[in-house]
Amino acid sequence: MLGKDQPVILQMLEVPGEGMKKLQGVKMELDDSAFPLLAGTTMSSDPHEAFGDADYALLVGARPRGPGMERKDLLTANAKIFQLQGSALNEVARRSCKTLVVGNPANTNALVAAHNAPDMNPENFMAMTKLDQSRAEGMLAEKYGCSVDEIDRMIIWGNHSSTQYPDISHASIKGKWAKSVVDMKWYESEFVPKVQKRGAEIIDARGASSAASAAAAAVDHLNCLHVGSGDKWQSMGVVSHGEYGITPGLYYSVPTLCTGDRTYRKIMGVPIDPYSAKKMNTTEKELLEERDGVKSLLGGSFEKIV
Ligand code: LMR
């Protein structure tokens, strides 16, 4: 995740009781794997201990979605976890700590965590939409017979939810403009809904939410941030400052470039056609509704802008 020669210490957080027992098993497996870059492991059920001096925080612990549920159905159950974790990060993590929120509803959980970490830069909190980008690239690669590496500029706009907008308007496939290659009827009626509902499809098949692909996407996201993504666009749910007309303060997925200095730069000036504008607006509306649902956990103010 952090490059080929960066040792890491894993400070693992679990809930007390059964959770800690299972974590013992995970620790044993980590020890037994003899990973050369694993410089240590710790276990705790207290976020104030687990997040101590953290450089990166991966917030993956949340109640997972079951069959038939939307991610926002987890709002009340999970937002409180992120309130506590945001506040613990604020107290004990490094000021420069980068926090990736994976637990759902990820964008709004990132909002809650950032609001409860008033001494930290809101830009250091991110919600994961890399998984959606990877899903979209995987589907295009399969349909058009190429490698995922031959696809670029695939954008996920908005929420990591069934309202997200997987946008190919600026994408390239094997160096050609995607819109000159892709069957637009297939794109609108099959591709977009499939990407939007891929998480639910996996839950139906496995009886549990995605695990390996979500982990791979989390690793990829932080790898881009730490090591750099070259000139490949990366979608990330990051705090809005009003770019593309999106309400400031929302954690909204946009295309970024990462230069490898632990920061991202939003790609600006991407032309938005009326079809895209409508879709971007729908997913923004859902994020505003989610934000209203956690208002009491935001410390009284909606906008938290650097
Ligand atoms: C996913 O997209 O697979 C995860 O966010 C799990 C879920 O709830 O869909």
Work out the widest C-alpha separation in the chain, in whole angstroms: 56
95 CA to centre of ligand 1 in angstroms: 29
Radius of gyration for the chain, computed over Cα atoms and rounded to the nearest angstrom:
19
Among the options 115, 160, 170, 221, which is catalytic?
A: 160
- 195/296 Cα distance (integer angstroms): 32
Cβ of 199 below 6 Å from ligand 1: yes
Cβ of 104 below 6 Å from ligand 1: yes
Cβ of 196 below 6 Å from ligand 1: no
Residue minimizing CA distance to atom 4 of ligand 1:
199
The pLDDT tens digits of the residues spanning 39-69 come to: 999 999 999 999 999 999 999 988 888 888 8
The pLDDT tens digits of the residues spanning 159-212 come to: 999 999 999 999 999 999 999 999 999 999 999 999 999 999 999 999 999 999
**pLDDT at residue number 62:** 87
90 CA to centre of ligand 1 in angstroms: 27
199 CA to centre of ligand 1 in angstroms: 4
Domains annotated for the chain, with CATH where assigned, are 8-127 (3.40.50.720), 130-293 (3.90.110.10)
Rounded average pLDDT over 250-264: 95
Cβ of 135 below 6 Å from ligand 1: no
Residue minimizing CA distance to atom 3 of ligand 1:
199
Report residue 81 as tokens. 């976890």
* Side chain identity at residue 155, one-letter code: I
Q: Whole-model pTM?
A: 0.95
34 CA to centre of ligand 1 in angstroms: 30
- Residue 49, classified by CB atoms within 10 Å of its CB into exposed (0-12), middle (13-18) or buried (19+), is middle
Mean pLDDT for the chain overall: 95
- Report phi then psi at 129, rounded to 5: -120, 10
Residue minimizing CA distance to atom 2 of ligand 1:
199
For residue 106, give the ligand 1 atom closest to its CA. 5
**pLDDT at residue number 300:** 55
Cβ of 131 below 6 Å from ligand 1: yes
Go through 269-285 and write b for each residue having 16 or more CB atoms within 10 A of its CB, e for each that does not.
ebebeeebeebbeebbe
Rounded average pLDDT over 132-140: 98
Rounded average pLDDT over 95-116: 97
36 CA to centre of ligand 1 in angstroms: 31
For residue 210, give the ligand 1 atom closest to its CA. 3
Q: Is 48 annotated in the active site?
A: no
**pLDDT at residue number 306:** 41
Residue minimizing CA distance to atom 7 of ligand 1:
199
Q: Give, for 235, the enclosing helix (H) or strand (E).
A: strand 234-239
Rounded average pLDDT over 268-279: 97
Q: Looking at the predicted structure, is the pLDDT value of residue 90 above 70?
A: yes
